[in-house]
Structure 1
């Protein structure tokens, strides 16, 4: 019987690793850093900022201050904005006199004072993401959802429904887009080709988040919507890995959701992956990619890690 996971390529200690994706990707980033990997952070917190405040503003959560990137179309959209100058049809959302970046509304709790501040911070973010694309050796991306909210006019997609964190829902302006297999495969292939223009040596590891949907904007039950979404994402990831020699697939989804005896992977909410399940996932990864220098002080604190940010839980509020 073949091993559950066999690496497709070697990650060297000096390789610059970037992480992005849905909520589960936050676990991966923490474990890689603690194990001594060179995980990139192009937008660190400013000096003197309290660590809890920095984390609430999502500094250090990913390799840039993206917020959660739940679907590949978000990732492609960001790359086109950074590398091709694409202008999203909508960038600023307002709520109670405060202003938010519609493409990453959770990164500034409480919002900004003005639309101009939003745009200035976004320009800085895009410059940082360009540096990320230009310097990353291994890009790890966790696919999370197929359901997206898009702007009808130009197809701009948002990480959360308008009217949850900020903005106002208008059915004439926004529509639900449930991305299919072909679209996901095409979007990632386009993203890969685009970023390799500025970083030809970049390689990719894909994972699928095991975290089930909190709610669905479709007419399905949340259980069937979750099954559909994860099946589509897993199939798309497999096809991308099959087509591309520089793309590896790591089976975190299978490890967490499999029916191993005693595999009680989720906490009481049914959506929070227990720390011991995350450790089981990363054991398989490190068996193929052994870290060169672990940092014991960080490893010891992993069990107490950080709140995980998941905007998709807000769909429950939106559905109501």
Structure 2
């Protein structure tokens, strides 16, 4: 019997595709199942890293769908002002809420300064609201914008970020724990939960199915954020806790691709964290992704999903293969500002550490 690997293409071999590819270009996408055009209305949602895709789509002249007016520096520039959607459960329940299938029992929290926030998007807007009624009025408008995102998009890009969350008594998943930026009512109880693979799989499949219930022709692109956890509430060290989270999300994304037509996976996680990058795409805090890393991701995305040529992607990928360093401006930046200020990304999770007494004392 001949060696069954004899006829496998170059991309199937680590030595040829990762360790020493032709020209030093590492491109982990074999083939995109569909292409986007400038006429497409591309919706974006998810964790902090999803904002890079939204920003680059808009800058490239492609149709990034935006259904709710607001300041991108405040809400992340997603298609609606939902802020960061870190978990598949959070996305699933947002869809259900938008169509009257879920109503959070605990939706308004109060800050120390007396202002009120939407518990499901606690930093949109950054200055909060003057009353509980104002919060709920703004949320009603927001849910209408969410429905327009789901019904009007021709493609939906969802970046999975975390498995850790805080759940209310009714099962509502929150992007931040009570006490990080605002306090929940004393009558409400919340608990930490780290989603299992079975739970994430079911939630993600539900997201796709609910999207197709209202928009059967929409295509879906799933990604996993390469940004590590800022902190963990599990018993584990934050490093293996991050590995667990990203592994579960990656498997769930693959199962959605295998289950559904017109669902694609884009390997932004692998481009940034793979050994071929030699750590060059992380800033000095080893968490924030540099602009060079974002450029490498978007070059591959553009080549396969936007139909661009190879030239744009080769330079960025080649730098990663030879251990490129982060730009000097990023290296010199304050670590606390690297994610939100230097790179122009709004990341609700950063508030976990920034709100600690030790952080305020520095």
TM-score by length of structure 2 reads 0.78
Matches within 5 A, 1:1-320: 1-2=10-11, 4-5=28-29, 6-45=31-70, 54-58=71-75, 61-95=77-111, 96-151=113-168, 153-168=169-184, 173-260=189-276, 262-290=278-306, 306-316=343-353, 317=355
Relative contact order, higher structure (CA 8 A, sep 6+):
1
Deviation at 1:319, TM superposition (A): 10
Runs of 4+ residues over 2 Å off in structure 1: 54-57, 168-172, 289-292, 303-307, 313-320
> C-alpha displacement at 1:262, in angstroms?
4.7
In 2, the alpha carbon distance for the partners of 1:180 and 1:155 equals 15
Quote how far apart the aligned CAs of 1:38 are. 0.5
SS in 2 for 1:28: helix
Cα 1:191–1:276 change in 2 (3 A) is same
- Per the TM alignment, residue 307 of structure 1 is displaced from its structure 2 partner at its CA by 2.4
Distance 1:228 1:127, change over 3 A: same
Q: Is the 8 A contact 1:217 1:319 kept in 2?
A: no
Which one has the bigger helix percentage? 2
**How far apart are 1:28 and its partner, in Å?**
1.0
Cα separation, 2, equivalents of 1:318 and 1:232: 29
Is the 2:106–2:188 contact (alpha carbons within 8 Å) kept by the matching residues of 1? no
Decide whether the 8 Å contact of 1:160 with 1:312 is kept in 2.
Answer: yes
Q: Say whether the 8 Å CA contact 1:56–1:109 is kept in structure 2.
A: no
Are 1:26 and 1:308, in contact at CA under 8 Å, matched by a contact in 2? yes
Partner of 2:3 in structure 1? Answer: none
**Deviation of 1:57 (Å):** 3.0
Q: Measured at CA, do residues 86 and 267 of structure 1 come closer, stay the same or move farther in structure 2, by a change above 3 Å?
A: same
Tell me the matched-pair count. Answer: 300
Q: Is the 8 A contact 1:162 1:169 kept in 2?
A: no
SS in 2 for 1:197: helix
User: How far apart, in 2, do the equivalents of 1:171 and 1:254 lie?
Assistant: 43
Tell me the alpha carbon deviations over residues 146-182 of structure 1, each in whole angstroms, 9 at most, x when there is no partner. Answer: 000000x210110001111111497971101101111
Check whether the contact 2:160–2:222 (CA below 8 A) recurs between aligned residues.
yes
1:195-231 Cα distance to aligned partner (Å, 9 max, x none): 2121110110000000011110111111110111111
Per the alignment, do residues 286 and 56 of structure 1 end up closer, same or farther by CA in structure 2, a change over 3 Å counting? closer
Distance, in Å, in 1 between the alignment partners of 2:218 and 2:357 is 40
User: 2:249 and 2:200 mapped to 1: Cα distance?
Assistant: 8
Which of the pair has more CA radius of gyration?
2
Secondary structure at 1:100 match in 2: strand
Q: How high is the TM-score relative to the length of structure 1?
A: 0.88
- 8 A Cα contact 2:281 2:289, kept in partner: yes
Three-state SS of the structure 2 residue aligned to 1:269 is coil
Distance 2:57 2:346 in 1: 18
